[in-house]
Structure 1
């Protein structure tokens, strides 16, 4: 059972996912990696979220960056959003999309392209949940 699920909205975001899974490996935290778009694969995404045993989701997305918010709307587990830099706005569009979640749909957000901090935050979440 993976403790962390890393989901990318596009396979082009895999380099950022690698940053996250390298940090998770350093903590010896199990993870799995999926490429599922909130726009192109909504049914597959819903199915994956509902069946996942992961305790934390890291969602990596650019442009409109809907993925973290969609995942957060489908689970009560912590969701960490990683905005991806883009060609036009350098990731500002994705950053603003992730941090502007409606009340009741919280998403933690790390810096643009910062998969490492997403993994460090996931490790802290997991650590704090086992020490309660």
Structure 2
């Protein structure tokens, strides 16, 4: 129902041409349509099956559709998370939730939006993920990974600008990430960083190639191929600029490790 239809229905109600029951039925149908956009089928069972709720991919969706999806997710008691949200859509979503949800936040650099149900209590982070960037140009992708990891309730440490152009920088930061359950390496150019990190840590290293680089980088294809050809056995790779995917995989690894550690400690206490 658009604004003109709503005005017409209200005018008919005030003029006595529309029964109260019919007005309420029409309003109920309009609200239901807004909460369940016709082109969207939400998966409310995903958290039970897969451990985490459905994530909204913002590109190609209108701001009103994203808002309706987030409203429905929050009403179901799950933490809402949307990626690839433009600044204009982010501003719309913040205004949409500003009067009723003080947890809503938008990260313009990462272009992600998050909001928690007001009744949901914050939990202690479980597990640890390190996100390491080769250069500051990789920050938007790294921030998408960080937001994803934190949305999953996993502890996160960020280490920036330690690429192979200055190889002395990485070993100096080793104490900060050596105990991680998983490491996300975000790099463009020749993307050698995951191989170097993989030689230092006893955990999975997830390479996220970025499109940062000059012409022969081919929009990140060179970085992707370099990571795929890593000689470090603990390195695996996701798609170009896929900060969400890298962060999500690392978050899954870390959260399961954290759960097993908590279970062991609880067993020891008993």
* In structure 1, distance between residues paired with 2:150 and 2:255: 15
Higher RCO (C-alpha under 8 Å, 6+ residues apart): 1
Deviation at 1:7, TM superposition (A): 0.7
Rounded Cα–Cα distance in structure 2 between residues aligned with 1:36 and 1:18 = 13
Distance 2:228 2:256 in 1: 23
In the alignment, the residues of structure 2 paired with residue 37 and residue 118 of structure 1 have an alpha-carbon distance, to the nearest angstrom, of: 18
Larger CA Rg, structure 1 vs 2: 2
What residue in structure 2 maps to residue 106 of structure 1?
234
SS for the counterpart of 1:74 is coil
Cα deviation for residue 51 of structure 1 reads 4.8
How big is the shift at 1:38?
Answer: 3.2
SS of the residue aligned with 1:33? Answer: strand
Q: Determine the structure 1 residue equivalent to 2:220.
A: 91
Contact 1:38 1:70 in 2 (8 A): no
Alpha-carbon distance between aligned partners in 2 of 1:41 and 1:51, rounded to the nearest angstrom: 18
Question: Quick check: 1:13 aligned with 2:142?
Answer: no
Distance of 1:82 and 1:48 partners within structure 2: 20
Distance in structure 2 (CA, Å) of the matches to 1:38 and 1:21: 18
CA shift for structure 1 position 131: 4.3
C-alpha RMSD over aligned residues: 2.1
Q: Deviations over 1:96-127 (max 9, x none)?
A: 0001022x533110110000001110122123
Structure 1: gaps (5+ residues): none
Structure 1 counterpart of 2:160: 35
